[in-house]
Structure formats: structure tokens, C-alpha cells
């Protein structure tokens, strides 16, 4: 049997055009997670819009003020990480289990802060990956596959070199170095479906608008719907839960054993 295939999407920055992304995801039955800061240099959704979105999709944290964690003092970074979780939960009334560092920038101490704040998963800005979530000090790191943005080859090369993941760059070359992101997405999705893996499409709704990518996005969402089984599309949080160590289950079993006097 082939290993599992999952399809997930994520959308950063909380711009009101996220609602247009959400409408397209709904149209094609694709799940997604929206990483929303409380404030940003760009416009963000109102609390009412965010609640509407949270009724159908997952909302993740993206700091309170869209802060580059690597440029913030430790205490500021901790506050941005911890308080953005409670801000999402208070605003939406839903649990917030995933965090995405703005601009994809974070270091090891931030990973510990994110774990201590009670998040389950961290979405990075690593491109061209088909990997399942990776365990790192109790947190599940989710790389991405394709950004809905017309990157140049040099962006892929820099992204891979910076993170020392040359296998990702190799994957880009093997997939024919497509100049257009939808062609790259189709090729990588075919591989994920054939060989197993996570296909993670992500982007920014404001960028789709600025670079006129809406029609291309709709095309790839249609392709995703046609190629993948509906049950394989999950939010970032659902993906993390599938790969989380069964700590809660063990705790529960231990509690039952203690309560009933049964030795395991
Ligand atoms: Zn952002």
C-alpha cells in the first residue's frame, strides 16, 4: 500500500481578501488554515469576518502585530507568541493550535516558546517539501510545497540553501524547473498522490490580488479536487493531530489504570 497522501493549504496575514480565498476553497472542497495577526501594516479582517471564517476553516496565530521574531527581544517575542494564541481563541471561540512565524523567520528559542505556549504545530516557509510534519522538541514543524506566487528560480535556490534542504531544490529540478507555479504544483501533487506525502499550498490573498493570480489559484484548486480523494484534505491542525505523539491517550490510559488499580 502506498504511504498516506494529505492535502493542506494555508493563507497568511488576515487580509479581507482571505474571504475570497475561502470562497474558492469551499467551492472545490479544499481545507485550509488562515494565519491571522491582530494587527498588520496591511488591512486585516474585522472580528465578525474572522468569526465567519472560523466557522468553516481553521484560524492559526501569526503573532499579534506581524512581528519578525528574529528582530524582537525575547520577552516581546514570547508575548507575541503567547498572546496571539489567546487573541485568536477569544475572537473565534475556537482552539488555536497552529502558529506561523511572520516572514518565515524563527530560531530554536522561538520553537521552545511556541511549544510552551501550548501550540501543537508550526508552519515554516520552507518550499518544495512533500514531508510529513517533523517532530522538533515536542512541536510539529510543517514545511510547505508551493507558494501561490510567481517566484524565480533564485528564490527556490535561496530558500533551500538557507535551510540546508538541498533535496527540495533537487525536487524542483527533477520536476522540470517549471517557470510557472501552477505547473510546479501539479507536478508535485501528482508525486504526492503517487508516492505519499503532504502537498501544502500556501500564499497571501493580498499577493494573489497584487500579482493577478486568482485565475491560476482557481485552476490549481480544481486540479487538487479532481486528483485527490476528498478525505485527504485537512487543515494544518488536523494534519498535526494525525502525527502528534499519543501523549493525551497515554495520559488517559495512565489515569484509568491508576483509577482502577490496574497495572499496565
Ligand atoms: Zn505574514
CA of 254 to the centre of ligand 1 (A): 41
Place 250 in a pLDDT band, splitting at 50, 70 and 90: very low
The pTM of this model reads: 0.90
| Average pLDDT of span 216-241 | 93
CB 61 within 8 A of CB 12: no
- Quote helix, strand, coil % in the chain, to nearest 5: 50, 15, 35
Whether residue 129 has pLDDT greater than 90: yes
pLDDT band at 161 (very low <50, low <70, confident <90, very high): confident
Q: Which residues neighbour ligand 1 (ion) by CB within 5 Å?
A: 12-13, 102
pLDDT at 23 over 90: yes
pLDDT at residue 159 is higher than 60: yes
What 8-state DSSP symbol labels residue 151? -
In sequence order, the β-bridge partners of residue 203 are 11
Set of cell numbers at residue 13: 496575514
Question: What confidence score (pLDDT) does residue 165 get?
Answer: 82
How many angstroms is it from 13 CA to the middle of ligand 1?
A: 5
**Least confidently predicted of 8-12, 83-87, 190-194, 260-264:** 260-264
- 141, containing H or E segment: strand 139-142
- Per-residue confidence band for 1, with pLDDT thresholds at 50, 70 and 90: very low
Ligand 1: centre distance to CA 255 (Å) = 41
Question: Could you tell me which residues come within 8 angstroms of residue 107 by beta carbon, excluding any fewer than 6 positions away?
Answer: 69, 70
pLDDT digits (tens, 9 = 90+) for 48-57: 999 999 999 9
Cα of 201 to ligand 1 centre, how many Å? 15
Q: Tell me, what's the pLDDT at 258?
A: 52
Compute, in degrees rounded to 10, the torsion defined by CA atoms 4, 124, 121, 65: -150
pLDDT in tens, 57-101: 999 999 999 999 999 999 999 999 999 999 999 999 999 999 999
Distance from the alpha carbon of residue 63 to the mean position of ligand 1, in angstroms: 9
For the ranges 174-183, 196-205, 223-232, which has the lowest average pLDDT? Answer: 174-183
Q: How far is the CA of 66 from the centre of ligand 1 (A)?
A: 6
The rounded Å distance from CA 12 to ligand 1 centre is 5
The residues pairing with 123 across neighbouring beta strands, listed in sequence order, are: 142
Query: How confident is residue 249, by pLDDT bands cut at 50, 70 and 90?
Result: very low
User: How far away, in angstroms, is 84 Cα from ligand 1 center?
Assistant: 13
Domains by residue range for the chain, with CATH: 5-260 (3.20.20.370)
Distance 6 CA to ligand 1 centre (A): 24
> Considering the chain, what percentage of its residues have pLDDT values greater than 90?
75
> What's the whole-number mean pLDDT along residues 208-213?
96
Question: How far is 221 from 215, CA to CA, in rounded Å?
Answer: 10
Ligand 1 centroid vs 210 CA: distance in angstroms? 15
Average pLDDT on 142-151 reads: 93
Q: How far is the CA of 144 from the centre of ligand 1 (A)?
A: 14
CA 47 / ligand 1 centre spacing (Å): 18
Higher pLDDT, 210 or 260: 210
Give me the DSSP letters along 70-98.
Answer: GGS-HHHHHHHHHHHHHHHHHHHSS---E
- % pLDDT > 70, the chain: 92
Residue 254 has pLDDT above 70, yes or no: no
Amino acid at each position: 500500500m502506498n504511504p498516506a497522501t494529505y492535502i493542506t493549504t494555508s493563507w497568511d496575514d488576515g487580509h479581507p481578501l482571505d474571504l475570497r480565498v475561502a470562497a474558492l476553497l469551499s467551492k472545490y472542497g479544499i481545507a485550509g488554515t488562515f494565519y491571522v495577526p491582530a494587527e498588520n501594516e496591511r488591512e486585516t479582517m474585522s472580528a465578525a469576518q474572522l468569526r465567519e471564517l472560523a466557522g468553516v476553516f481553521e484560524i492559526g496565530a501569526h503573532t499579534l502585530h506581524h512581528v519578525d521574531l528574529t528582530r524582537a527581544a525575547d520577552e516581546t517575542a514570547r508575548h507575541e507568541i503567547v498572546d496571539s494564541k489567546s487573541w485568536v481563541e477569544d475572537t473565534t471561540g475556537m482552539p488555536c493550535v497552529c502558529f506561523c512565524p511572520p516572514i518565515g523567520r524563527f530560531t530554536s528559542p522561538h520553537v521552545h516558546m511556541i511549544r510552551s505556549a501550548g501550540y501543537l504545530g508550526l508552519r515554516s516557509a520552507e518550499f518544495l517539501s512533500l514531508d510529513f510534519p517533523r517532530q522538533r522538541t515536542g512541536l510539529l514543524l510543517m514545511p510547505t510545497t508551493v507558494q501561490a506566487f510567481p517566484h524565480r528560480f533564485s528564490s527556490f535556490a535561496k530558500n533551500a540553501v538557507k535551510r540546508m534542504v538541498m533535496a527540495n531544490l533537487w525536487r524542483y529540478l527533477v520536476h522540470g524547473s517549471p517557470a510557472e507555479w501552477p505547473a510546479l504544483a501539479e507536478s508535485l501533487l501528482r508525486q504526492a498522490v503517487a508516492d505519499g506525502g503532504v502537498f501544502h499550498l500556501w500564499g497571501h490573498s493580498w499577493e494573489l490580488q497584487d500579482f493577478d493570480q486568482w485565475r491560476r489559484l482557481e485552476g490549481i484548486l480544481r486540479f487538487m479536487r479532481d486528483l485527490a480523494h476528498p478525505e485527504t484534505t485537512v487543515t494544518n491542525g488536523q494534519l498535526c493531530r494525525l502525527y502528534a505523539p499519543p501523549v493525551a491517550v497515554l495520559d488517559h490510559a495512565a489515569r484509568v489504570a491508576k483509577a482502577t488499580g490496574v497495572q499496565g
